[in-house]
């Protein structure tokens, strides 16, 4: 069976979406999904060349898109990226705080402090900095929606990944809190919890480790970036108009047992 989603017809027309980490993997799939639904898309990424390449692909498919270099660990860079989105397309309505890194694998008692700081700075503080500057812009636009990319490890532990797991749990709590604060201002904020997804994030996973990851999913395979993008697109759309502050799995059954 095909896993390729069918984009709802132009449901994002007239809306501007900012996607952090939009040059690769899940963020790139979502950039294509939102653009197919009519959004103007700002691809914000640490990897500026990758962001420009993504924008060239989007534009050649007829979409309105722009690239901006952004390091989500740097609040000034995030603020400038949000300002760029508003200046380029006139307003910001949708945001996907998706930039993330895996970090090395080692037990908590041996985990390097600098690795902890780097992973938490990217995967948790980066989501806070992003919402810190996106939310005032979305409120100024009259409302919209935010999706924060957590993980199945936003509720489950995973041996060897203390920083990643702690950061992704933090994203779920941060999402719920911001959702409470902004629901009455017509901003819906939700989190997505993907299982292991076949993207460049897993580039350093050897075949034995990959087989182990596959075995954790009752579906018998890793997910695709497009499958995660489809859930995020739904949460960003008006079809999700009563969904606020919740955490949504797309995990091939990983969390069901
Ligand atoms: P990718 O590595 O394919 O894409 C992540 C993108 O984020 C890359 O372009 C990366 O740039 C960019 N990035 C990294 N650090 C920063 C930063 N400081 N500022 C701006 N951009 C940055 O990963 P995925 O698409 O797989 O992951 C996307 C999100 O989904 C992440 O938050 C991840 O934790 C989450 N996720 C992924 C899962 C998976 O199995 N793949 C499972 C569950 C959640 P560069 O390449 O230069 O580092």
Share of the chain above pLDDT 90, in %: 95
11 inside domain: no
Average pLDDT, the chain: 96
How many domains are contained in the chain? 1
170 inside domain: yes
Q: Is the pLDDT of residue 1 over 60?
A: no
- Name the pLDDT band for 5 (thresholds 50, 70, 90): very low
* CATH number of the domain residue 166 falls in: 3.40.50.720
Q: Is the pLDDT of residue 166 over 60?
A: yes
For residue 137, report the distance from its CA to the centre of ligand 1, in Å: 24
7 inside domain: no
- Name the pLDDT band for 3 (thresholds 50, 70, 90): very low
Q: Is the pLDDT of residue 4 over 80?
A: no
- Name the pLDDT band for 251 (thresholds 50, 70, 90): very high
* Ligand 1 mutation pick, 45, 50, 105, 249, max ligand atoms within 8 A of CB: 45
What's the average model confidence in pLDDT over 68-90?
Answer: 98
User: Which comes out higher in pLDDT, residue 87 or 202?
Assistant: 87
165 inside domain: yes
10 inside domain: no
Q: In the prediction, which pLDDT does 8 show?
A: 57
**Active centre residues (catalytic):** 164
61 inside domain: yes
Q: What is the 3-state secondary structure (H, E, C) of the chain?
A: CCCCCCCCCCCCCCCEEEEECCCCHHHHHHHHHHHHCCCEEEEEECCHHHHHHHHHHHHHCCCCEEEEECCCCCHHHHHHHHHHHHHHHCCCCEEEECCCCCCCCCCHHHCCHHHHHHHHHHHHHHHHHHHHHHHHHHHHCCCEEEEEECCHHHCCCCCCCHHHHHHHHHHHHHHHHHHHHHHHHCEEEEEEEECCECCHHHCCCCHHHHHHHHHCCCCCCCECHHHHHHHHHHHHCHHHCCCCCCEEEECCCHHHC
Q: Is the pLDDT of residue 101 over 90?
A: yes
- Ligand 1 in contact with 27 (CB < 6 A)? yes
For residue 138, report the distance from its CA to the centre of ligand 1, in Å: 23
162 inside domain: yes
Q: Whose CA is nearest to atom 23 of ligand 1?
A: 201
27 inside domain: yes
Range of the domain at 52: 16-251
């Amino acid at each position: 069976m095909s896993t390729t989603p069918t984009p709802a017809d132009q449901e994002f027309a007239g809306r501007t979406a900012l996607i952090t980490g939009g040059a690769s993997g899940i963020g790139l799939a979502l950039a294509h999904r939102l653009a197919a639904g009519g959004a103007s898309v700002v691809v914000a990424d640490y990897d500026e060349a990758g962001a420009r390449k993504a924008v060239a692909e989007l534009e050649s498919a007829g979409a309105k898109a722009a690239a901006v270099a952004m390091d989500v660990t740097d609040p000034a860079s995030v603020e400038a990226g949000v300002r760029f989105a508003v200046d380029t397309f006139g307003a910001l309505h949708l945001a996907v705080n998706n930039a993330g890194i895996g970090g090395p694998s080692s037990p908590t008692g041996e985990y390097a402090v600098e690795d902890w700081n780097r992973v938490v700075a990217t995967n948790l503080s980066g989501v806070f900095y992003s919402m810190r500057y996106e939310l005032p812009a979305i409120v100024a636009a009259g409302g919209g929606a935010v999706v924060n990319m957590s993980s199945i490890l936003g509720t489950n532990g995973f041996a060897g990944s203390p920083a990643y797991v702690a950061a992704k749990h933090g994203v779920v709590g941060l999402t719920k809190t911001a959702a409470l604060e902004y629901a009455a201002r017509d901003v819906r904020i939700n989190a997505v919890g993907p299982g292991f997804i076949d993207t460049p994030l897993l580039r350093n996973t050897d075949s034995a480790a990959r087989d182990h990851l596959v075995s954790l999913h009752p579906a018998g395979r890793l997910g695709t970036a497009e499958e995660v993008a489809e859930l995020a697109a739904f949460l960003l759309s008006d079809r999700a108009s009563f969904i606020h502050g919740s955490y949504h799995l797309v995990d091939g059954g990983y969390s069901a047992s």
